[in-house]
Amino acid sequence: MAEDEHLAAARSRAEEVGVVGIGTGGGAALRFLASLIQASSVVEIGTGTGVSGLWMLRGMASGGVLTSVDLEAEHQRFARQTFTEAGIASQRFRLISGSALEVLPRLTDAHYDLIFVDGDKREYADYYSEAMRLLRPGGLIAFDNALWHNRVADPAQRDRETVAVRELGKAVRDDERLMSLLLPVGDGLLVAQRVA
């Protein structure tokens, strides 16, 4: 699926501030997943400049609301610009500047249809724990960079980020509350549905 000028502009802004938005394949997968479950309440960890947020907003139910958390207020300013230029009504997104591990505990339990995680890889286990509390039964959680530049499959790679992503994959696979799938798009998109 080709990206339009709004996504291209968001990617250009991402380059300016040194962040990497989800790839086109991953973005299209997120849009599809949001549409599939008619997501009306979505949490995103790692706003960036709005690339993944715009993909999800385009798949969500027409009145759906995206809550996106990022440490960098400048990134969120760019994301707001992305959403506004793409014609997304301001009441459809809530941008919260701060640490996800400080913000997530304030969100409502079992309320969210979809949670997308693209934050600090070393904190993926903590995001996972919070996401399970926030996710409604039948809801989806998705982690970007599940292959982590093809390092996860190589046991010789022992840096903190790689180990954290590898351990997350095992935890999700072994969690009986989840049915999971690793999509080989971009840098890997680990998707799981809460079944219990």
Residue ranges covered by each domain of the chain: 5-194
DSSP-assigned beta bridge partners for residue 43: 67, 115
- Give residue 92's identity as a one-letter amino acid code: R
- Write out the two tokens for 38: 């008619």
- Write out the two tokens for 60: 């969500």
Give the span between the Cα atoms of 175 and 190, in whole angstroms.
Answer: 13
Please give the pLDDT value at position 142. Answer: 98
Please give the pLDDT value at position 135. Answer: 98
Half-sphere exposure of 145 (CA within 13 A, CB side): 20
Q: Is the pLDDT of residue 22 over 70?
A: yes
Give the span between the Cα atoms of 71 and 36, in whole angstroms.
Answer: 30
Please give the pLDDT value at position 2. Answer: 75
How much is the average pLDDT of 29-39? 98
Could you give the percent of the chain with pLDDT greater than 90? 98
Give the span between the Cα atoms of 136 and 138, in whole angstroms.
Answer: 6
Please give the pLDDT value at position 96. Answer: 98
Tell me the pTM. Answer: 0.96
Please check whether the domain covering 5-194 is classified as CATH 3.40.630.30: no
Kindly indicate the confidence band of residue 196, based on its pLDDT and cuts at 50, 70 and 90: confident
Please give the pLDDT value at position 35. Answer: 98
Please give the pLDDT value at position 152. Answer: 96
Quick: pLDDT tens for 41-66: 999 999 999 999 999 999 999 999 99
Q: Is the pLDDT of residue 1 over 90?
A: no
